[in-house]
């Protein structure tokens, strides 16, 4: 039998980070000493007090059953208190918070709850590829908004055709940004709230990197007056507490939107493992010095990589947030050719900017997810390439 895949699945482009991982594995199989600056998966361990809480919860028989619903009350209350402490945002734990199996779970299922075939979804690019895939699987029509250097990597809402805005159901946003490391201020978010009200679309803000910053703390979209009337924010323990594999996250904000996504999820999964939720409670409610230390480590790595690349003549944006560095490729090179030479000649894995959207052509993304000695080794290898 030959299995015929659906037109929906056929319409999807290859998932970028799977392809990068396959190239890395192939190089490793050839015996190469690979320095992986491609996929953004923290190399730092989950803090011990969080691991201990998860281990303790794992031994509780009640946690071995289906964890149906919006999540443990203790988890939702911990999220609400964390939002109040960090952003001065008040959330109702009973109606405005829903646990997710990682924020990707919520972000990718989101269009299925709100998008009908032919509806437009606004996606700034370059961006996390899963937004586009989610829209295609839901039968929606992606409308891409270029994020350009000259505009501080913020979407120009005025440039979107009015007929597209009238059809739009969702606007995805992601600040601090993957891959651009850009941040958005209150003024921009206030403008977004006004546009969402005027054109009646939902704002879905991916805030997964809000705690990796090196200066002024980023603001929450939900801290803007009126934001909860038109949108939600997706957040996660993954990057803040080095818990990518634990899959502990949430959506919060507009109660009707949260409820609708929860209703959809009831038909797709059976909730977040309760032991993981207990670990997340320990993360959100416990000491936050581990987060400050994480920021210190990434800042040191950022300074080493950015400073080193600049000394080699590369044009680099110094990221104010995230653990990514957005880099102009050498003159005369494409994103793909640069990544190819980095892998073949320096055994360095990087992400081509155009793989994250057409406006990413001419850039590569490097992740700060290896220790400083490996970053210095990467710089040494890059210096030896004759560009």
> From first to last of its 387 residues, what are the pLDDT tens digits of the chain?
778 888 888 877 776 666 667 777 777 777 789 999 988 899 999 999 999 999 999 999 999 999 999 999 999 999 999 999 999 999 999 999 999 999 999 999 999 999 999 999 999 999 999 999 999 999 999 999 999 999 999 999 999 999 999 999 999 999 999 999 999 999 999 999 999 999 999 999 999 999 999 999 999 999 999 999 999 999 999 999 999 999 999 999 999 999 999 999 999 999 999 999 999 999 999 999 999 999 999 999 999 999 999 999 999 999 999 999 999 999 999 999 999 999 999 999 999 999 999 999 999 999 999 999 999 999 999 999 998
Hey, where are the domains in the chain?
Answer: 7-45+289-384, 48-285
32 burial level (CB within 10 Å; 0-12, 13-18, 19+): middle
Residue 126: cis peptide before it, omega within 30 degrees of 0? yes
Quick check: 166 and 111 in contact, CB under 8 A?
Answer: no
Over the range 364-375, which residues count as b (16 or more CB within 10 Å of their CB) and which as e? bbbbbbbeeebb
Quick check: 143 and 171 in contact, CB under 8 A?
Answer: no
Quick check: 384 and 346 in contact, CB under 8 A?
Answer: yes
Quick check: 360 and 367 in contact, CB under 8 A?
Answer: no
What fold characterizes domain 48-285?
A: 3.40.640
What fold characterizes domain 7-45+289-384?
A: 3.90.1150
Structural tokens at position 335: 């994103």
Q: What is the pTM of this model?
A: 0.94
């Amino acid at each position: 039998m030959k299995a015929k895949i659906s037109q929906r699945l056929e319409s999807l482009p290859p998932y970028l980070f799977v392809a990068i991982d396959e190239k890395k594995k192939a190089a490793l199989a050839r015996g190469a000493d690979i320095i992986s600056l491609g996929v953004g998966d923290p190399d730092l361990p989950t803090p011990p007090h969080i691991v201990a809480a998860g281990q303790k919860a794992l031994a509780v028989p009640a946690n071995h059953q289906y964890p149906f619903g919006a999540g443990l009350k203790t988890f939702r209350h911990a999220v609400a208190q964390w939002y109040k402490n960090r952003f001065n945002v008040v959330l109702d734990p009973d109606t405005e918070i829903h646990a997710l199996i990682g924020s990707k779970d919520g972000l990718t299922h989101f269009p299925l709850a709100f998008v009908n075939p032919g509806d437009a979804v606004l996606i700034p690019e370059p961006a996390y590829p899963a937004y586009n895939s989610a829209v295609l699987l839901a039968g929606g029509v992606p409308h891409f908004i270029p994020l350009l250097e000259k505009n501080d990597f913020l979407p120009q809402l005025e440039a979107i055709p009015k007929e597209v805005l009238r059809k739009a159901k969702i606007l995805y946003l992601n600040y601090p940004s993957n891959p651009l490391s850009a941040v958005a201020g209150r003024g921009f978010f206030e403008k977004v709230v006004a546009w969402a009200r005027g054109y009646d679309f939902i704002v879905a803000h991916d805030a997964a990197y809000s705690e990796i910053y090196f200066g002024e703390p980023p603001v929450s979209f939900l801290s803007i007056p009126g934001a909860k009337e038109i949108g939600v924010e997706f957040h996660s323990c993954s990057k803040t507490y080095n818990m990518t594999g634990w899959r502990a996250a949430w959506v919060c904000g507009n109660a009707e939107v949260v409820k609708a996504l929860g209703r959809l999820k009831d038909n797709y999964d059976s909730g977040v493992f309760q032991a993981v939720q207990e670990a997340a409670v320990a993360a959100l409610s416990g000491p936050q010095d581990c987060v400050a230390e994480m920021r210190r480590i990434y800042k040191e790595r950022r300074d080493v990589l950015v400073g080193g690349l600049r000394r080699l003549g590369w044009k680099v944006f110094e990221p104010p947030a995230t653990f990514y560095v957005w880099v102009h490729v050498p003159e005369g090179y494409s994103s793909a050719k640069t990544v190819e030479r980095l892998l073949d000649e320096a055994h360095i894995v990087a992400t081509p900017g155009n793989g994250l959207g057409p406006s990413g052509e001419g850039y590569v993304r490097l992740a700060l997810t290896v220790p400083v000695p490996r970053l210095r080794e990467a710089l040494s290898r890059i210096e030896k390439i004759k560009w």
